[in-house]
Structure 1
Amino acid sequence: MVETNGLSQPAHLSPVDLNSMRAKTLGDYLKSRRARLQPEQVGLAKTYRQRRTPGLRREEVAILAGVSATYYTYLEQGREVAVSREVIESIGRALQLSPDEYTHLLGLWNGNEPGMAPPITSEITQPWQEIVNQMAFPAFITNDRAELLAWNTSVDKYLLDFTSRVPKQRNMISSLFTDPEMRARILNWEEMAAHSVAIFRTSYDKYAHDPWFPQFVDNLSKESPEFASLWELHRVEAKRVTRVFYQLPDQDQVNIYDIKSLSFTLDHPDLHLCIYSPVKGQEP
């Protein structure tokens, strides 16, 4: 399993270093969104000449966004250039971003303002554990690292027996990709895997200053080629109600849940309470 504890913590970063990381994160994101588009998708004439790189050219994005090619190139290269909201919105439209992708782009743009992401919460208070315990169906609390901080017995029964695992093995993303028992229980695993990675990408970009995230991704990419492939897509999605299908070993019954994620208090914005709600008529 990939270790999720004991990884290096973010050292103190100067404002110059932090701004440089944020600019690079924004540039990488723009490049990934450009690479997936073809000229005909954005109304440009199709060319039959072989392109040296996949997707649109930087110059084509610049034309669509109404900015100079040099300016857009600087943005993709991670240079620290001033960007207005009007310009970033125009670039978002040119890249035909989905609502979630557009929101993510604005978050990266706002990241050029002073301030840092909140610290990661590594433990919760007992009252929250008691609340989770009272729920009849699977429920758990994770942080932005996807580390499991609290869960009830239904999680052990239907998802994976996390209680019997040591803390470093209690990460939802790594378990999803590296634990064969968890994978076998999820009938729509491919859909859940893709959505989970897209959500985790938003956290990764949010904590651009924290070396834990690239180290975790590097470790998991080496352990799971499927994770590595999904990670290279650079997809981002917001948390939303997601349907999952579970089947326990040696049982014919399929348990269907809608996963609902609730944000925590302002004191711990990195925490998320996930509640599994059985689809009507499909209670275990």
Structure 2
Amino acid sequence: MVEMNGLSQPAHLSPVDLNSMRARTLGDYLKSRRARLQPEQAGLAKTHGQRRTPGLRREEVAILAGVSATYYTFLEQGREVAVSREVIESIGRALQLSPDEHTHLLGLWNGNEPEMALPITSEITQPWRDIVNQMAFPAFITNDRAELLAWNTSVDKYVLDYTSRAPEQRNMMFSLFTDPEMRARLINWEEMAAHSVAIFRTSYDKYTHDPWFPKFVDDLSKESSEFASLWELHHVEAKRVTRVYYQLPDQEQAIAYDINSLSFTLDHPDLHLCIYSPVKEQES
């Protein structure tokens, strides 16, 4: 069983250590985006013979981005080299990043600002619990680890009965891939699974200092081959309004909700308030 509520406070890390972690994360991300892009997609002539690795070669990305092959190789290798926004933007265009991927790339680059070890919130105040409890439809608060910190009775009824589950089982990602009851209720499970993993990847890359994230991913990959396969894709997406469909055993009709995710204040940037709003029948 994965220990998901234990707080793994990072040991003191110097700015040098944190920047080195960020450089490696940036390099891994660039490599994953290069591997999925074929020469023909990038407007390059198709090469004869089989390539040793999938996707573009490093030197091809360098040509498309207008940088030297050595410089781009250093970036992929996670070396701490100076890189301007103009260069990182050019590399993003060469890799044909989506808007969400482009935003994620800029976040990893971060303008060469000193890296800060971001904290994770594990408790919320009672007023926020009261707000969630007063909502008529499913609503809950999670942190960037996908740990469930507050939820109402509608969540128990439609999403999953978290009240009856142990605290260490109250993680939305873990439930999505390992709990058969949640999977049975969620009609568009495949769509939500892919979207959820892509969102979780953005958190994973943001908390390069926190050993909780790689341990969680490793443990969940062992529990779920479907999660492991999605994780290997290295997709990233931003939170947006997402439609879900639930079918309960005692109800004939499926119920559709739009999930709206709201961020907290700057004091708790890792918290998210998720509110389900019912979809009118003609819209579903």
Contact 1:117–1:206 (Cα < 8 Å) also in 2: no
Query: Counterpart in 1 of 2:215?
Result: 215
The amino acid of 1:27's aligned partner reads G
Q: What SS does structure 1 have at the residue aligned with 2:93?
A: helix
Contact 1:22–1:111 (Cα < 8 Å) also in 2: no
Q: Distance in 1 between matches of 2:28 and 2:151?
A: 35
Q: Distance in 2 between matches of 1:112 and 1:177?
A: 36
Query: Counterpart in 1 of 2:50?
Result: 50
Q: What SS does structure 1 have at the residue aligned with 2:101?
A: helix
Q: Deviations over 1:101-139 (max 9, x none)?
A: 000000000174213153100010000000001110000
Q: Distance in 2 between matches of 1:116 and 1:211?
A: 15
Structure 1 unmatched ranges of 5 or more: none
Q: Deviations over 1:7-37 (max 9, x none)?
A: 6331111111111100000000000000000
Q: Deviations over 1:34-63 (max 9, x none)?
A: 000000001000112100000000000000
Q: What SS does structure 2 have at the residue aligned with 1:162?
A: coil
Structure 2 unmatched ranges of 5 or more: none
Contact 1:256–1:282 (Cα < 8 Å) also in 2: no
Contact 2:247–2:253 (Cα < 8 Å) also in 1: yes
Query: Counterpart in 1 of 2:273?
Result: 273
Contact 2:19–2:115 (Cα < 8 Å) also in 1: no
- The two structures have a TM-score, normalised by structure 1, of 0.97
Contact 1:118–1:269 (Cα < 8 Å) also in 2: no
The amino acid of 1:33's aligned partner reads R
Q: 1:282 and 1:144, CA in 2 relative to 1: closer, same or farther beyond 3 A?
A: farther
Q: What is the correspondence of 1:1-284 to structure 2 with a 5 Å cutoff?
A: 1-6=1-6, 8-110=8-110, 112-281=112-281
- The two structures have a TM-score, normalised by structure 2, of 0.97
Q: 1:174 and 1:187, CA in 2 relative to 1: closer, same or farther beyond 3 A?
A: same
Deviation of the 1:221 alpha carbon: 0.4
Q: Distance in 1 between matches of 2:273 and 2:211?
A: 25
Contact 1:22–1:112 (Cα < 8 Å) also in 2: no
Q: Deviations over 1:136-177 (max 9, x none)?
A: 000000000000000000000000000011111000000000
Q: What SS does structure 1 have at the residue aligned with 2:41?
A: helix
State the percentage of identical aligned residues. Answer: 89
Contact 2:146–2:172 (Cα < 8 Å) also in 1: yes
Q: What SS does structure 1 have at the residue aligned with 2:52?
A: coil
Q: Distance in 2 between matches of 1:12 and 1:211?
A: 13
The amino acid of 1:280's aligned partner reads K
Q: Give the RMSD, CA atoms, in angstroms.
A: 1.3
The amino acid of 2:275's aligned partner reads I
